[in-house]
Structure formats: structure tokens, C-alpha cells
Amino acid sequence: MRTANLDGRLVLVHEDGVIDVEKAGNGLFPSDPQAVFDRWDEFRAWADSAAVADQPRTPFEKQELGPPVPRPRQVFAVGLNYADHVAESQVETPAHPAVFTKFPTSLAGPYDTVTLPSALVDWEVELVAVIGREAYQVAAADAWDHVAGVTLGQDLSDRGVQLRGPAPQFSLGKSFPGFSPTGPVLVTPDELEQPDDLALGCAVNGETMQESRTSQMIFSVPEQIARISAICRLLPGDLIFTGTPAGVGGARDPRRFLAPGEELRSWIEGIGELRNPLIAGPGHPQRTDAV
């Protein structure tokens, strides 16, 4: 099953169009794409029923897609989770997942324009796991059972803000408005032949910058859920950005960051792509303070 947020309304996505959930169910489920995660099992059973599958599909404009999970209560992200990205970052392989947060106000849709606050904004294509069932102290073997689905995300990062200060702190520099584009759809794990081995990548203005597979993660999706839920209670509709492979701009020689007028395209096998045009914010490009 694939779901999306079409202009603020929850829809089921099929090749030939969408089904509006609130209308198809006569109000059984509300239109709010966030509300469904608290009743995920019930929703899945309803969506799989023949009466729903036979509903007429409506064509749609993909530009109207918003983030499939618009208001998660918690957004976790894991840094340094691919060996080649650890190497290019010139740090040691983490013994524990390097967890930080991206504040939910940074979420954006798959085709939204992103405003660059500085000349130091970097790309990080990532698989994003969506929690579908409360998870606390869950074993890795049971972790996929707690996932509603997966989507695609960019963990955009202002490297100046991220790495400044007496000790680097990741969360603020990765939480400017628009710094977490996600979408275009949420895909349930059963739709993917190998949910732990998906090709992913991104390109800036057509130049491929990152290309890898999610099987290259140091901590797999189930392992991340086990490690994070050992400490935090994961709630339905929470997001986990699961890390990025090598090829970020800040690790290139010379360094390369996103510029106004460029387009960032990101993709993951089986889910789809994001296309985010970039424009200059009021602070750009004056603030180029060194990392």
C-alpha cells in the first residue's frame, strides 16, 4: 500500500490515481494524514478491503503532494551510518548510533522549494522509517513489525551552524524551515522485495552526488529501532532519518554546497523521487562562516 498527503488530505495512491480516504470511508478515518498512524492496523485492514480497492481513482498533480507524515511528535535522525560516509567525514566508526533530532517544523513536501539560509547548505539523501505502532525496548527481530512504512527524505544541513560551537550540535543546523523534504509517498514494507536493500542517491542540477544502497548501513533499520527504543518510547507517526551514504558536499575537495537556482533531485528504489528547487534566503550568500 502507498499513501500520500495530497494538499493536506490523506490519499491511497495507485498507478492510475488516488482515492481520498475520508470520502471513500464516509468519515471512518479523518482526512488528516497524521491522524491515521494512531489507528494504523485498523486503517490497513480497511484499505485492503475489496470495497475500498474498487473505489474510483482521481488523477492528481504531483506538485500538490505534501510530506506524507506532516506532524510527527518525534523526528529522530542517525548520523555517520554508512561506512563510506564515516570515512569521508574522517571520524571513527560509531559503536552506538549517533542520534540527533530534526525538529518537525523543518518538514517539507517532495516538490517544495527550499530557501537556503547560507552558502553552506549540504545534501544528505536518506531512507526514512515511519513508526506504525508504539515501540519501547523492541528487539531488532521485531522492529519491522513496528514500522508503518518507509519514505524518502533529505537531511539538509547548514554545515556552519551544525559544526560551530565548543561542541558540535547537529539539531539546529538541520532544522531550518524546509530542511526535511520527504515523500513523495509512504510505502508499506510488504511492497518492497528487499526493504533492507534499496538503491538510493541524489543529484544537484543533474550531476550525481550520492549513490549507494541501504544495505550498506552500519546500523540497519531494525537495529536503529532496537537501539533508539531501548531508551526512547517511539510513537506512531514518528520518523527516523536513517543516515546518508558518501558524497556529501562538505566532504568534497573542493567543498561544494547548494546554490540558489539549482535543483536537488533525490531518489530511492521502490519509493520515488524528490525534486526540490533552491532559492536564496535573506542571509544568503553573506554568511559563509568557515566550518
Q: What angle do CA 114, 243, 8 make, to 5 degrees?
A: 45
Specify whether the CB–CB gap between 107 and 130 falls below 8 A. Answer: no
> In the complex with Zn ion, which residue's Cβ is closer, 151 or 244?
244
Is 31 or 106 the residue whose CB approaches Zn ion more closely? 106
Q: Shortest approach of Zn ion to residue 155 CB, angstroms? A: 3
Size of interface with Zn ion, in residues (CB under 5 A): 3
Are 200 and 267 contacting, i.e. CB atoms less than 8 angstroms apart?
A: yes
Query: Which residue in the shown chain puts its C-beta closest to Zn ion?
Result: 155
155 is a contact residue toward Zn ion (CB under 5 A) = yes
What residues from 119 to 148 belong to the interface with Zn ion (CB under 5 A)?
A: 124
Q: 174 or 265: whose CB is closer to Zn ion?
A: 174
In 10 A of CB 190, how many CB atoms? 11
CB of 242 to Zn ion, least distance (A): 8
Q: Shortest distance, CB of residue 67 to Zn ion, whole angstroms?
A: 17
Q: How far apart are CA 265 and CA 273, in angstroms?
A: 7
Residues in the chain: 291
**Interface positions, 27-86, toward Zn ion (CB under 5 A):** none
Taking CB under 5 A as the criterion, which residues in 235-254 touch Zn ion? 244
Least distance from C-beta 88 to Zn ion, angstroms? 13
The Cβ-side half-sphere exposure at 135, using a 13 Å CA radius, reads 33
Query: Which residue is it, cell 488523477?
Result: 59
Instruction: Compute the least distance from the CB of residue 181 to Zn ion, in Å.
Output: 13
For residue 159, which phi and psi values (nearest 5 degrees)? -65, -30
CB nearer to Zn ion: pick between 33 and 117: 117
Distance CA 150, CA 50 (A): 24
- List residues near Zn ion by CB under 5 A: 124, 155, 244
